[in-house]
Amino acid sequence: MPTLTNEKLIKYLAITVTVAACIRRLSTAVFSIANGLALLLVLYLWRQNKYSLNLSDEAKGYMKAYLIFILLMIPSVFVSDKPLVSLKEYLNFVVWRYGNIIFIAIMAFIKRRDYLVNMLTALLLTTIVDCLLTVPQSLLNMGPAGRGWGLGGNPLYLSGILCMVLPVALVIALDPAFEKRLKKAASCTVAAITAGLIFNNSRSAWLTEVLVIPPTICKYLKQQKKYVLLFVLVLAGIAAFMAAKPVYMARIRTIPATFTNRAHDLRGLVWKHAVPIIQDHPVAGVGLGRYADKYQEFRSKKIEAIKKQTQQAKAAAQKQPKATLRKPPQLDMPNETHTHNNFLQVAAETGLVGLAGFVYFCGYVLFTSLKNYRKHHNPCDKLVFLVFLSNVVIMGAFDVTFFMSPGMSFMFFLITVLLQMKTTKKPDNVV
CA dist 239 and 222 (Å) reads 23
Is residue 348 within 8 A of residue 286, CB to CB? The reply is yes
Is residue 385 within 8 A of residue 366, CB to CB? The reply is yes
Q: Which of 199, 203, 201 is nearest to 139 (CA)?
A: 199
Which residues of the chain, if any, have pLDDT below 50? 1-2, 261-264
CA dist 169 and 27 (Å) reads 25
CA dist 197 and 342 (Å) reads 21
With 0-12 / 13-18 / 19 or more C-beta atoms within 10 angstroms meaning exposed / middle / buried, residue 47 is exposed
pLDDT per position as a tens digit, 131-172? 999 999 988 888 777 789 998 878 888 999 999 999 999 999
CA dist 137 and 146 (Å) reads 7
> DSSP string spanning 66-122?
HHHHHHHTHHHHHH-SSHHHHHHHHHIIIIITTSHHHHHHHHHH---HHHHHHHHHH
pLDDT per position as a tens digit, 351-366? 999 999 999 999 999 9
**Secondary structure element (H or E) that encloses residue 20, with its range:** helix 6-23
Chain-centroid distance of CA 128 in Å reads 18
Q: Residue type at 372?
A: N
CB atoms within 10 A of CB 257: 15
CA dist 41 and 183 (Å) reads 31
- DSSP code at position 144: G
pTM exceeds cut of 0.75: yes
With 0-12 / 13-18 / 19 or more C-beta atoms within 10 angstroms meaning exposed / middle / buried, residue 353 is buried
CB atoms within 10 A of CB 61: 14
Question: In 266-378, which residue ranges form alpha helices assigned H by DSSP?
Answer: 266-280, 291-319, 342-376
CA dist 272 and 233 (Å) reads 40
CA dist 401 and 408 (Å) reads 7
Instruction: End-to-end CA distance of the chain: give it in Å, rounded.
Output: 38
